[in-house]
Chains A and B, each alone.
Chain A
Amino acid sequence: EVQLVESGGALVQPGGSLRLSCAVSGFTFTAYATTWVRQAPGQGLEWVSAVSGSDGSTHYAESVQGRFTISRDTSTNTLHLQLNDLRVDDSAVYYCIRGADSSVWSYFEHWGQGTRVTVSS
């Protein structure tokens, strides 16, 4: 069974940093793309970042480029998202997702339950 379990969400001040983690199981980590999507309170879904399963190439939405960094630890089957220079409008539930194949442009086949990030002073 595919499982994605996020952690690391917290309340942080503007300008602060946070590291989100996603423990994955039930599939070969390097065979599938993994992605972060966020949802601000009462709002829709926004794609944030993705990493390719095969070559580990990374991609970012313009809104987070240069502030967020996606990475994966294949020894522990964990996906990370480092959030720096956080802004109030980064507040959201962050979902970890497994793609349908190794391409970052494959659809979002499995979703985690999300972890909440609140940026406020």
Chain B
Amino acid sequence: QSLLTQPPSVSGVAGQTVTISCSGTSSNLGAGYYVHWYQQLPGGGPKLLISGNTDRAAGVPDRFSGSKSGTSASLAISGLKADDEADYYCQSYDGSVRGWVLGGGTKVTVL
């Protein structure tokens, strides 16, 4: 079982806002470690989306926003577009395993 838990899938209609949760523990998010988010488009490799809880990577539109509180983090996508259909992964450092941990990924579908 992953130390970071994400819902397997979320969906929304174009223009809507969807939110992806990332639930951690006291050894990762709860310990104050940053959360980072990655986007993996169908058939492609992952790319950095958000670092340091809230900082968008270069070229990432402001429709994407990140937040973190306690043992949980969230990625919100507003003004949902068909191009946003992808898998999204959260990542943090975990002090109990002394290494990186990643969530299981969330598939976003635009209805």
Chain A residues in the interface with B (C-beta under 8 A): 37, 44-47, 50, 59-62, 95, 100, 105, 107-114
Contacts and interface: CB of A to CB of B under 8 A. Distances in A.
Interface of B: 2, 34, 36, 38, 45-48, 51-52, 57, 89, 91, 93, 97-105
Nearest to A47: B100
Contacts of A110: 48
Nearest to A4: B45
A44 B105 contact: yes
22 contacts: A37-B46, A44-B102, A45-B89, A45-B91, A45-B105, A46-B102, A47-B101, A61-B97, A61-B99, A62-B97, A62-B99, A100-B51, A107-B48, A107-B52, A108-B36, A109-B57, A110-B48, A111-B45, A111-B47, A111-B48, A112-B45, A114-B45
Contact of B93 (A46, A62, A95, A105): A105
Given A45-B38, A47-B99, A62-B97, A108 B105 contact: no
Contacts of A109: 48, 51, 57
Main secondary structure of the interface of B (DSSP, over half): strand
Given A59-B99, A62-B97, A44 B89 contact: yes
A112 B44 CA distance: 10
Contacts of B47: 111
Contact of B103 (A44, A95, A111, A113): A44
Contacts of A105: 93, 100
Nearest to A97: B46
B99 A108 contact: no
